[in-house]
Structure 1
């Protein structure tokens, strides 16, 4: 009846029979009082009719003899229920309990509430396990990713290479990977971090290009920004994050030619390049976590985190991403804007 709980254990004590009996009598004291009152009434009525003591005692004994089996049966029934609850509480990994058949409407309601609460707890536990597993996988990939620029800088120190542009390019990669890690943490608390405002697309595109200017200049890539006079209602920093990742990927896989950011339609933004392109069989899986495709695997330039993060951010902003590409011709990533949140500039 009375079960003690302690930290680290579901149930700290075993169900003591003596303690159970005391608790049972306390719980049933009203029934006991009523029964004793009936016995006294029986004595009083027989006394009024001047009946001898023997019939009074005999009748009282029959009443007690009739009630005792039911009392023992009820005590045993409740004791078994308490033992069953104790066994459930001692499980290290609780599962949906196999409770007894409910005998009353109150027990039915209690069992329903217990099962619903346990199911909700199990669902929440499963959800957090998936979140933690996803986080572990991401940071495992991220750790391997950030090693590349660190090893490059270490190699430049060993060879005495002090070319400023090379050092800036590697530091930019470290800074970008650190920013990706912070953004990933922010995505877990995404709704409290959103700040919707009217954003000028041209300004955001220019900032994304400016952040990667060192790499773009080193490779002598041309930048083409056109038809970006519109505004969109969105979160500026998250949209900038998507464009930065797309520009970074375009610069990474383009050795010569042009990177363009433009609007082919009022509700679309495209980032295109004239790089090595992507094989058709790789296109459907590019947004998967850790998938690098043939080019990323062969050239050792990617661990598959950037586009995966872009996909998560696009869901947050209500955007959709699509990719079209041809090998040795180039790649175009299209950001489809939500119609209700778009406002064309005058």
Structure 2
């Protein structure tokens, strides 16, 4: 701000000075004091008034210069202001600047992570596409079951990617209501029926009339990821069991299980564990997304597993959210 604008903003001091002179003139008149005293007072104090006004303008200009330096200052040190209000503004400004810097770093990390995940997803989608290309190259007529299986793998990866992107706007897309567990499971089982048939897996359902107070779309995403993992890591001719127990929904398989060293990290983004590295069929995002959705839906997600003995996924609900 230019100095003359700061001088102009000192007008209350000038007005106050004039008011004081007027009051003194009135006082002298009331008490019949010599009126020339007012003139003498004006003659010997006007430069003091101007000095005060100029001094305040210069002081404020210096303080504003320090505030301007905060915009380009890279050091976290906060410049000292003699005025307590300006010092408080400076500290608040620096805190906001630091928060903005932290937020920018988080966004940069999120952007890098998203790029890494997109690379993983693109690889996962290319795998079934390559399988389809090989089938079409080696055979003039490709069995529909094999085509459906590869298409289902592609669809699963696309759904996972889209749901990951939608999760950023999670709270704007919720519609809670009482949902029958069997009704939520039916389309998921039908979607992956080709895999049940191809691996000769048995499905045992014991959900009876269980109802859940939840968002059907997002909870279906959780169920789909868990069931797809159970199918993917189950050997042929084994059983996948889904049953209700007290305030829980349990999904059990007789698959290869999870190493005890991997269990604490299975909900981390991008973590595939030893199973994913061996089979090279995992993005490490399915359980991460399911866990975060469960947290938002007030569902307690736990996983119990032993190598070569299978895995049990436990979905725990509040007493008021299940009947």
Asked whether the two chains share a fold, i.e. TM above 0.5, the reply is: yes
Match of 1:150 in 2: 129
Match of 2:52 in 1: 70
Match of 1:218 in 2: 198
Deviations along 1:122-141, one digit per CA (max 9) or x if unpaired, are 56556655654554444343
**Number of residue-to-residue matches in the alignment:** 319
Match of 1:266 in 2: 246
Q: Does the residue aligned with 2:159 lie in a helix, a strand or coil?
A: helix
Match of 1:79 in 2: 61
Match of 1:197 in 2: 177
Please identify, of 61-70 and 162-171, the stretch whose mean Cα deviation from structure 2 is larger.
61-70
Is the CA contact 1:208–1:244 (under 8 Å) kept in the aligned structure 2? yes
| Of 115, 118, 123, the match for 1:139 | 118
CA distance in 1, matches of 2:263, 2:6: 69
Per the TM alignment, residue 249 of structure 1 is displaced from its structure 2 partner at its CA by 1.0
Q: Does the residue aligned with 1:229 lie in a helix, a strand or coil?
A: coil
Per the TM alignment, residue 212 of structure 1 is displaced from its structure 2 partner at its CA by 0.3
Q: Does 1:98 align with 2:79?
A: yes
Deviations along 1:90-111, one digit per CA (max 9) or x if unpaired, are 45x79685351325xx657755
Q: In the superposition, relative to structure 1, how do residues 242 and 35 fare at CA in structure 2: closer, same or farther (>3 Å)? A: closer
Q: Does the residue aligned with 1:281 lie in a helix, a strand or coil?
A: coil
Is the CA contact 2:7–2:53 (under 8 Å) kept in the aligned structure 1? no
Deviations along 1:269-310, one digit per CA (max 9) or x if unpaired, are 111112222222211111111111112111112121111111
Is the CA contact 1:256–1:274 (under 8 Å) kept in the aligned structure 2? no
Deviations along 1:246-270, one digit per CA (max 9) or x if unpaired, are 1211111112233333335221111
Gaps of 5+ in 1: 2-18
Q: In the superposition, relative to structure 1, how do residues 94 and 180 fare at CA in structure 2: closer, same or farther (>3 Å)? A: farther
Q: Does the residue aligned with 2:305 lie in a helix, a strand or coil?
A: strand
Match of 1:209 in 2: 189
Superposition TM-score, scaled by structure 2 size: 0.83
Q: Does 1:20 align with 2:9?
A: no
Q: In the superposition, relative to structure 1, how do residues 64 and 250 fare at CA in structure 2: closer, same or farther (>3 Å)? A: same
Gaps of 5+ in 2: none
Per the TM alignment, residue 85 of structure 1 is displaced from its structure 2 partner at its CA by 2.1
Match of 2:292 in 1: 312
Superposition TM-score, scaled by structure 1 size: 0.78
Per the TM alignment, residue 70 of structure 1 is displaced from its structure 2 partner at its CA by 3.5
Is the CA contact 1:257–1:274 (under 8 Å) kept in the aligned structure 2? no
Per the TM alignment, residue 154 of structure 1 is displaced from its structure 2 partner at its CA by 2.7
Please identify, of 284-293 and 159-168, the stretch whose mean Cα deviation from structure 2 is larger.
159-168
Per the TM alignment, residue 65 of structure 1 is displaced from its structure 2 partner at its CA by 4.6
Match of 1:31 in 2: 13
